[in-house]
Amino acid sequence: MTITVDGPLPGPFRWSIVVSEHRDGFALDDALTHALREIDDHENANGRIQLWIRHVDDEADTIAAALGFRRYRDLWQLRCALPNRDSGLVTRAFTPDDLDDFIAVNNRAFHWHPEQGGLTRAAVEATMQEPWFDPDGFRLLHEGDELVGFCWTKVHRDTDPNLGEIYVIAIDPSRHGKGLGKPMTLAGLAWLADHGLEHGMLYVESDNDPANATYATIGFSRHHTDRAYELERA
């Protein structure tokens, strides 16, 4: 499906519209106009609307702006060739006993993030039931008994080429400035390469300059941009 509409929703956005990257021969202006009418026809139509356009281009951006949407967030997908370099770190696989420690580190590292922050046990356990979940690809870094970083990977077998994703990566804020971000990323990429993947990818906020600088030194480059917009309906 090229476009989906979801709502009413809890949280800051009452409605969500998502436009996929598969839209050749697709009249985006007509589809978005129809989606807005669908929302207007609902008894709970008021509130903020979030629009995500995957693989955004100038034409799609112009159409969104003409309909009143204001861009507010760019998410970059970066890719690199595998194998990469050795990380020099000793990591181990995730186990269920690590769940609370992982959530604590994650929420300290992503307290600012609109999706990854405020992670709950229930949310992680639900993700662990996904068919792609592999605890061996969820690499943990410890200092003694203390979890100080992690690199959670995901393998996409339904893409051409197959992609190995750095799904979530973080270093505990207490260890920031110690140069662990780059080798932690490399540890995840090494695991993906060891399991037959020839391409790695990850998503990063376009304005996260420190992370983007680190990823550039590893060899990542931007593949495409997913852009988020907002629209307030009184």
- Are the C-beta atoms of residues 205 and 75 closer than 8 Å to each other? yes
- Domain assignment present for residue 137? The answer is yes
For residues 162 and 186, membership in a common domain is answered with: yes
Q: What is the pLDDT of residue 1?
A: 59
- Do both 92 and 155 map to the same domain? yes
SS3 call for 22: coil
**210 in a domain, yes or no?**
no
CB distance 139 to 188 below 8 Å: yes
- Rounded to 10°, the helix 28-40/58-66 angle is 30
Are 95 and 193 members of one domain?
yes
One domain, residues 34 and 91? no
Looking at residue 136, which CATH number applies to its domain? 3.40.630.30
Asked if residue 218 belongs to a domain, the reply is: no
Q: How many residues does the chain have?
A: 234
Among 47, 63, 41, 54, residue whose Cα is nearest residue 15: 47
3-class secondary structure, 39: helix
Residues (pLDDT < 70) of the chain are: 1, 234
Is 36 contained in some domain? Answer: yes
What's the domain count of the chain?
Answer: 2
d(CA 70, CA 231): 7
pTM: 0.90
Q: What is the pLDDT of residue 42?
A: 87
Does 112 lie in the same domain as 61?
Answer: no
Q: What is the pLDDT of residue 143?
A: 96
> What DSSP string describes 123-187?
HHHHHTTSTT--GGGEEEEEETTEEEEEEEEEEETTSSS-EEEEEEEEE-GGGTTSS-HHHHHHH
Token reading at 37? 């009418």
Distance separating alpha carbons of residues 218 and 200, to the nearest angstrom = 11
In this structure, are 102 and 159 located in the same domain? yes
Q: Give residue 150's domain range.
A: 83-197
Say yes or no: 70 and 116 in one domain.
Answer: no
In degrees rounded to 5, what are phi and psi of residue 108?
-70, -40
Strands 221-233 and 47-53 come out as antiparallel
User: Is the same domain home to 163 and 189?
Assistant: yes
CA 22 from chain centre, in angstroms, equals: 19
**Could you tell me the two tokens for 152?**
């959670």
Q: Are residues 88 and 69 in the same domain?
A: no
Residues 59, 26: Cα–Cα separation, whole Å: 12
Q: How many CB atoms lie within 10 A of CB 113?
A: 16
User: Do 95 and 187 sit in the same domain of this protein?
Assistant: yes
Sign of CA dihedral 173, 176, 182, 183: negative
